[in-house]
Structure 1
Amino acid sequence: MKRLMTAATLTLATLAAPMAHAEGPSRLVTVLTAPEPQTQLMAMVLNMQAVAQGKTVHILLCGPAADIALKEAPASATAGQPPKGMSPQGLMQTIMSKPDTKVEVCAIYLPGKGATPEVLLDGVGVAKPEDMASSIMSEDTQVMSY
């Protein structure tokens, strides 16, 4: 009887492990610094897929990538990319319209440009380093960086 109970317990544990692992973290933090529009767009595509899978998404834009958050963004941020003609900024705005999403520029981006938050698209915030560090370090968070 003891062997049967041990075997049953091991079987249930084996079956449950892949299911628990398949769910994974509930949050995705993406740190995007890449200047290339194709890389920026792919980062947005993957974030959109995470949103579609019910994940909470937090995008941190730093350096040249933060330019996609500007009201007067460069053409590279607004020009459509193949194969579907989406732009990095356009898909980012679509993501921002979804629940449980946040887009922020890094804390040093605006001071580095000599600008204020008024130059950012509505809904884009400025990250607080302590909050961003806490978010990145959370056990239920997956971090991607481009």
Structure 2
Amino acid sequence: MNKKQMIGSLFGLGLLTGAAHASTDSVEQALVMVNSGELQTQGMAMVLANTMQAQGTHVDVLLCGKAGELALKGTENAPLKPKNVTPEQLMMKLKQGGANVSVCALFLPNSDKGKTALRAGISVAKPPQISQIMRDKNTRFFSF
């Protein structure tokens, strides 16, 4: 029995916690989809995405619905404690670290905004590309 099989058996028997099991797997690529308009949810999504990126995971972020407003130049939310940063600041840190950040393809057409309203480096998602990322067996999908 190899190490992964043994850990799987122990996990199945309830002898190991989920955290111990998860530590044996490395996430190479993550797609973080943020739909919530709630600031703390947006902030936590960005905190976790930044943490994954710092641990070596390539992160793609897809902003849909109310969360798409984070991508707009004019959006300035109140800072969140304890670090006093906004979700959009955390999002731009991700971008600077190499993450791809995009708004859903339906976001701009269903608002009164055009592409020029987006922050620098943020694009409009192309469904075939997002679908390919989602279908990739090495990608983990996280939704907030």
Give the alignment's TM-score, normalised by structure 1: 0.83
User: Which residue is 1:25 aligned to?
Assistant: 27
Structure 2 Cα separation of the partners of residues 66 and 15 of structure 1: 39
> Could you list the runs of 5+ residues in structure 1 that have no partner in the other structure?
1-9
Superposition deviation, residue 21 in structure 1: 7.3
Q: C-alpha root-mean-square deviation of aligned residues, in Å?
A: 1.9
User: Which residue is 1:136 aligned to?
Assistant: 134
Alignment counterpart, residue 110 of structure 1, candidates 108, 121, 133:
108
Superposition deviation, residue 30 in structure 1: 0.6
Aligned length: 131
Structure 2 Cα separation of the partners of residues 20 and 95 of structure 1: 23
Distance 1:17 1:37, change over 3 A: same
Superposition deviation, residue 14 in structure 1: 2.6
- What is the CA deviation profile of residues 72-120 of structure 1, one whole-angstrom value per residue up to 9, with x for unaligned ones? 11x4xx3100111010000101110013x10000001000013221100
Q: Name the aligned partner's letter for residue 14 of structure 1.
A: K
Distance 1:114 1:17, change over 3 A: farther
Superposed counterparts of 1:88-99, under 5 Å? 88-99=87-98
Structure 1 Cα separation of the partners of residues 6 and 37 of structure 2: 40
Q: Which has the larger radius of gyration?
A: 1
Superposition deviation, residue 20 in structure 1: 10
Alignment counterpart, residue 72 of structure 2, candidates 70, 73, 76:
70
Superposition deviation, residue 137 in structure 1: 1.2
Q: Name the aligned partner's letter for residue 94 of structure 2.
A: I
Structure 1 consecutive aligned stretches of length 4 or more whose deviation exceeds 3 Å: 15-21
Q: More deviation in 114-123 or 60-69?
A: 114-123
Structure 1 Cα separation of the partners of residues 138 and 37 of structure 2: 29
Distance 1:21 1:87, change over 3 A: closer
Distance 1:21 1:79, change over 3 A: closer
Distance 1:17 1:143, change over 3 A: farther
2:41 counterpart of 1:36:
no
> Could you list the runs of 5+ residues in structure 2 that have no partner in the other structure?
8-20
Q: Name the aligned partner's letter for residue 110 of structure 2.
A: G
